[in-house]
Amino acid sequence: MKIRIKQNLLAFSLLVFSFSSFAQGTYSKTELVKGWHLLDKEKDGVYGISLDKAYEFLHAKNLKSKPVLVAVIDSGVDTLQEDLIHILWTNPGEIPGNGVDDDHNGYVDDIHGWNFIGGKDGTNVKDDSQEEGRVYYEYKDQFDNKNIRMDSLSNDARDHYEMWVKAKKKIMGDGSDNGVDLLMLKRVVNACIKSDSIMQAALGKKEYTGNDLDSFEAKNMESRTARSVLLYLFKENHIMDMTNTTFLSDFKEQADREEKKMEIKETAPKNYRGDVVKDNENDIKDSIYGNNDIMATDPMHGTHVSGIIGAERNNAIGINGIADNVRIMMVRAVPNGDEHDKDIALAIRYAVNNGARVINMSFGKNLSPQKTWVDDAVKYAESKGVLLIHAAGNDAEDVDSVDNFPNPDYKNSKFHAKNWITVGASSDPLAEENFKSYTASFSNYGKKEVDVFAPGTRIYSTLPGGNKYGNLDGTSMAAPVVTGVAALILEYFPNLSPEEVKYCIDKSAYQPATKAKKPGSENELVPLSELSASGGILNAYGAVKMASAMSEPRNQEILKSTLKKERN
């Protein structure tokens, strides 16, 4: 989850230094029901995925589901979360806690998954650097202030130089002043910390939510001011169900990342991962490392993603996930910073080798130094019939022309992975009061590279803490909505290939009659077909209907012929 620093910093700084103007509250409360992303446009009036209609269709056909294993490559998961505890994958080949690799896969006591960013001594990577910093300093001595002749470079050296130039531009900028004011940001963070201390005393408890702030009637100016300071960011970021402790932790982490971005201009990043993991990062064959601590240091992101996909349905607590017969395998490979290509490649292979049929990947970065390792893992997944679903990113950029990794485009090749879905974030006009579109204001897009949009604003799901839930925004939330539907299709139609599941999702996507706002713009309206290949928003009902039709023997040859033509 990312607090919206750039968009809100100026407004928030005015709030911090002009408290009285906000003391009475100036917000209108937008009503958008929790779980709106599962609802139906025709019946409920919101741009959800029509999940109930999908289940009605499946039940009317008296179809029985088969369990589907979904791997989530992420930051970790709260293994004690009440709505997830019963749907976590348990490795049938391992005896818990005996310190033995019972199933001989190389990973000791991998009961619910594996942690590729942990040490054998039980320590874990929490923070990490950005990839551009790692690349810039790796090749700085070789390329900086040198008269480089491209025609004299080998293919590998040319590749390294071009990547280094991109990294340098990311770090040093292009001369435009569009960064975050770090001094102001620190003052904002400190104001939030001070306001939190005041509100804890005023509310009489150490932990509270944005909703608690909204309903609280302050008795004095100090608490009114503190309430206004915090309530602004809770409302602006649609995190009213989030606790103060989670909010402050995330906000401070993002402020730290911004500070690291400034520091990286002068100083090489720390070797966060290497100091803990202690493998040979330059050797993909050195693959047996990490530990089995899949909760680790900060499992909020992965816990939320997992709940969207498969939180236990109809159990009278919490939320309903999308798929009703899944098991979630957590593969921890994503730190607070940019992931490393080796960890992602091995995480994909681990998931495939242990039976996953769908892999959710809600992460991304600007550079990929070892893309061929990831490409090979993607090809391996395709050979084993595994579907990969990836978040498009949250920079409101066109990923047809801007790098976003990982991606399905094989390096130095014209070929494109067929077992891959890239997901942009759709929305509802009620979700973002200042944008009011069925596209999310922050979502990346791409007429070629983004396959489909799915709900990614105000998504209510599981959070760490046993029995906690809340809203988060991002394509990180949109991707697992698609993953949940893909898993649902495979539960009831297990013979479909990844390419066939993708076909059903893309071709059944709901195509709104009206134009959408182009993410990142003020008021530019475009057809959704200009922002994605399918030109639509995920529709679970349409997807399972199409999957049902495609599963019939008489249609299988037609589908195979259609897919063959599309490949060519």
The SS3 of residue 393 is coil
Among 425, 453, 463, smallest CA distance to 307 is for 463
Q: Choose the final residue of a domain: 216, 240, 269.
A: 269
Per residue in 442-484, pLDDT tens?
999 999 999 999 999 999 999 999 999 999 999 999 999 999 9
| In a shared domain, residues 100 and 48 | yes
State pTM to two decimals.
0.89
| In a shared domain, residues 87 and 183 | no
CB atoms within 10 A of CB 403: 15
Separation between Cα atoms, residue 543 and residue 58, nearest integer Å: 11
Contact 324, 353 (CB under 8 A): no
Instruction: Give the contacts of 116 (CB within 8 A, at least 6 positions apart).
Output: 277, 289, 290, 331, 332, 333, 343, 346, 347, 350
Peptide bond into 406 cis (omega under 30): yes
Query: 17 pLDDT band (50/70/90 cuts)?
Result: very low
Longest dimension (CA), the chain: 73
Residue 436 has pLDDT above 50, yes or no: yes
Upper half-sphere CA count for residue 66 (Cβ side, 13 Å): 6
Contact 125, 75 (CB under 8 A): no
Query: 20 pLDDT band (50/70/90 cuts)?
Result: very low
Letter for the amino acid at 464?
Answer: P
pLDDT number for residue 559: 66
Letter for the amino acid at 217?
Answer: E
Average pLDDT value for residue range 109-127 = 97
The SS3 of residue 331 is strand
Average pLDDT value for residue range 542-561 = 83
| In a shared domain, residues 307 and 318 | yes
Number of domains composing the chain: 3
Upper half-sphere CA count for residue 319 (Cβ side, 13 Å): 30
pLDDT number for residue 11: 46
DSSP code at position 25: -
- Cα angle 127-132-137, degrees, rounded to a multiple of 5: 95
pLDDT number for residue 22: 33
pLDDT number for residue 61: 96
The SS3 of residue 35 is coil
Comparing 180-184, 205-209, 242-246, 523-527, the range with the smallest average pLDDT is 180-184
Contact 194, 170 (CB under 8 A): no
pLDDT number for residue 456: 97
Residue 21 has pLDDT above 60, yes or no: no
- Share of residues in the chain with pLDDT > 70 (%): 91
Contact 360, 73 (CB under 8 A): yes
Contact 3, 474 (CB under 8 A): no
| In a shared domain, residues 125 and 54 | yes
What is the CATH classification number for the domain harbouring 481?
A: 3.40.50.200
Residue 402 has pLDDT above 80, yes or no: yes
| In a shared domain, residues 115 and 218 | no
pLDDT averaged over the chain? 91
Contact 203, 219 (CB under 8 A): no
| In a shared domain, residues 287 and 264 | no
Average pLDDT value for residue range 427-432 = 92
- Share of residues in the chain with pLDDT > 90 (%): 77
Contact 331, 71 (CB under 8 A): yes
pLDDT number for residue 213: 94
| In a shared domain, residues 43 and 123 | yes
SS (H, E, C) 214-264: HHCCCCCHHHHHHHHHHHHHHHHCCCCCCEHHHHHHHHHHHHHHHHHHHHC
| In a shared domain, residues 395 and 496 | yes
| In a shared domain, residues 17 and 91 | no
Separation between Cα atoms, residue 184 and residue 111, nearest integer Å: 45
Separation between Cα atoms, residue 21 and residue 66, nearest integer Å: 58
Structure tokens at 556: 């299988």
pLDDT number for residue 432: 85
CB atoms within 10 A of CB 479: 29
Letter for the amino acid at 17?
Answer: F
State the distance between the two ends of the chain, measured CA to CA, in whole angstroms: 39
| In a shared domain, residues 234 and 278 | no
pLDDT number for residue 240: 81
| In a shared domain, residues 462 and 505 | yes
Instruction: Give the contacts of 91 (CB within 8 A, at least 6 positions apart).
Output: 103, 110, 111, 112, 354
| In a shared domain, residues 250 and 312 | no
**Is the backbone of residue 53 left (phi > 0), alpha (psi -120 to 50) or beta?**
alpha
Separation between Cα atoms, residue 537 and residue 512, nearest integer Å: 8
Q: Choose the final residue of a domain: 147, 163, 178.
A: 178
DSSP code at position 166: H
Separation between Cα atoms, residue 48 and residue 176, nearest integer Å: 39
Residue 315 has pLDDT above 80, yes or no: yes
The SS3 of residue 498 is helix
Query: 495 pLDDT band (50/70/90 cuts)?
Result: very high
Separation between Cα atoms, residue 424 and residue 434, nearest integer Å: 19
Per residue in 346-359, pLDDT tens?
999 999 999 999 99
Q: Choose the final residue of a domain: 244, 269, 294.
A: 269
- Residue 252's domain comprises 1-30+179-269
Structure tokens at 365: 């970065």
Letter for the amino acid at 463?
Answer: L
Query: 562 pLDDT band (50/70/90 cuts)?
Result: confident
Average pLDDT value for residue range 369-392 = 98
Phi and psi at residue 454, to the nearest 5°: -150, 155
Residue 565 has pLDDT above 90, yes or no: no
pLDDT number for residue 30: 52
Query: 176 pLDDT band (50/70/90 cuts)?
Result: low
